[in-house]
Structure 1
Amino acid sequence: MEKINNVTEFIFWGLSQNPEVEEVCFVLFSFFYAVILLGNLLIMLTVCTGNLLKSPMYFFLNFLSFVDICYSSVTAPKMIVDLLAKKKTISYVGCMLQLFGVHFFGCTEIFILTVMAYDRYVAICKPLHYMTIMDRERCNKMLLGTWIGGFIHSLIQVALVVQLPFCGPNEIDHYFCDVHPVLKLACTDTYIVGVVVIANSGTIGLGSFVILLFSYSVILVSLRKQSAEGRRKALSTCGSHIAVVIIFFGPCTFMYMRPDTTFSEDKMVAVFYTIITPMLNPLIYTLRNAEVKNAMKKLWGKKLVWTNSK
C-alpha cells in the first residue's frame, strides 16, 4: 500500500476548550514548570558542588534530575504557550520529534529508576562489596545503557508511526503528540502497529516494575537482620525512591500497558507523569534525604559568605 500523507500539521484540542479554565491552567502550569527547572537544577548543583558525585546513588540522582528537566521540557513549554493560543498547531515533523522526545526521556527515566533500585539493593544487601560492585566504570556503563535503551525504544515507537498514512482529520484530542492519539488519525488499520506498541512499551514498563518490586522485596527481607538504626536509615533512603517509583509507574502503567484505546482521562493522567512527577522528585529527595539537605545548607552557606564578603 502506497503511503498517502496529506497532513502537514496537527491541531491539539489541549487540556480544555474553556478560555477561563485555560487562563488558570496557564498560571498553574507556568508555576509548575518553573518549580521543575529550579528544583531539579538545585539538585544537580548540590550534587556537583557538594562532592556527592563520588557516591553512585547521587551520581544517578544527578542524571535523574537532568532527565526530568528534559522530559518535562518536551511537552510543558508548548502546552503552556498553547493555553493562550486560539489555534494549537504543531507541524508533522514537530509532532514526530515530540513523540520521540517523550518516549526517549520517559524510557530513560524508567531505566534510571531501575538502576537506582539495583544500587540500593547492593548498598543494603552487600555493603562490604558495595564500592567494588558499584565502581565508577560500572556506573558509567549502566548510565550509558539507560540512554541507549531509551533511544532504541523511542526509535521503534517513531518508526511504527512515521510509516503510517495520514490523510485527515488532523485534530488530536491531547496536548502533545503521543502514540495512541496519533494512531487514531491514521487512515489505515493500525491493529498490528498498536499490538507492537503495547508489546514494546509493556515489556519495558512491566519488566522494570517487576525488577523494582523484586529488588525492594529482597531489601525489606534483608533489613530484618539489621539494627534498628540501620533499618531506619535504609528505609529513609529507599522510601524516597519507592515514592518516586509509585507516582511515576502508576500513570505510565495506565497509559501504555493497555489495548490501543484512548480515554477522556488520558490527558489528566499524562499531566501527572510529564509535569507532576518531575516537579515532585526534587521535593521527595530533599525532604527525605539528610545528606542532600546538609549539602544544600553548605552550598547556601558558601553563597551567603561570598555575597557578604563582596
Structure 2
Amino acid sequence: MDLVLHLADDYLLDKVWARLLPLNDHLGLPPYAHLSTSANFTSVPYFSQSAWPRDYIPRQIISLSVITFIGIHCLYFLFAWLSYRYIFNHDMMRHPRFLDNQVKQEIQCSLRAFPMMIILTLPWFQAEVMGYSRLYDSVEDYGWLYLGLSVPFFLFFTDYGIYWVHRLLHHPSIYKTFHKPHHKWIIPTPFASHAFHPVDGYLQSVPYHVFIFVFPLHRCLYLGLFVFVNCWSILIHDSDMVTGHALEKVINGPAHHTLHHLYFTVNYGQYFTWADRVGGSYRQPESSLDPMLEIKKQS
C-alpha cells in the first residue's frame, strides 16, 4: 500500500491536499517547503503546497482510507461481475437453497462490511507506509531466485494461516457471531466472496499482512499478490463443481469451496488442499455431490 500511496500522491493527492489545506491555513503547522522523508522511497525533494506534508500521519491515514475504500469497491464489483457474468452457472440460482434476492443481499452484506474491514486493516497499512514492513524495491537486494520462490512461499504461508483462522471461526463459541453470516450463502455467487461479518473478513486477511512484516517481499510483487488473492476469493465462490481435473487433489478450487459452503466443516483452505489433509478436514469433490443434481431433480 505504500507504493500505491506514493503514486497517488505523485499524480493526484498532492494537488488535492494542496487545494483542501493549502499553506498558510491556520492549522498550527509551519508553512514551509517540505522535503520527502519517506522511509520506503528515495525521491527528489518536492515542494508541498499543502500544510499537511506527505509524511504527516493524519494525512496518510485519511489518504489510505480513501484509496482502500475506492480500491476494494472497484476490485469487488469489477471482478465479481466478470465472474458472475462469464463463469458462474446461472442455473444454480434455481437451487432450492438459493435465497430470494440473494445476489442483492450478498452485495449489501459486502458493502456493509467494507468500512469496518478498512478501519481494522488501516494499522497494517500505516505501519507499512511508515517503513516497518520488510518490503523491498530492488530485485538485486535478494536476487531473482528469491523473487521467484517468494511467490509459492507467500501462498503456502498465507494458506496455512488462513486455514487455522478459518477453522477457528467455525468454533461453536464464535461461529454464530462472526462466521455464520458468510454461511448464509449455501449456494454462493461470486458476490458472496466478500460478504462477511467485518471481523471475519479482517481476521482471514491477517496472514497476508503478517507475511511482509516477517519475510522480505518485493513491493510490486506484493501488490500483485494482494490483487490476486482477492480475485481468487471471488473465483472460488462461483458454486462450480467441475471435477476430475489434474490438480484437483492439490489445488483448493471452486469445487472444494462449494463443498465447504454445503457441508460447513470441510475444506477450510484457501489455495491448497494440504492443510485440510493434515488437519483431517479434507473432502474430495465428486460429481455425486454436485448441487446441480438437486436442480435436475426438479426438472
Is the structural similarity TM-score above 0.5? no
Q: Greater RCO between the two (CA within 8 Å, min separation 6)?
A: 1
TM-score (norm 1): 0.28
TM-score (norm 2): 0.29
In terms of fraction of residues, the more helix-rich structure is 1
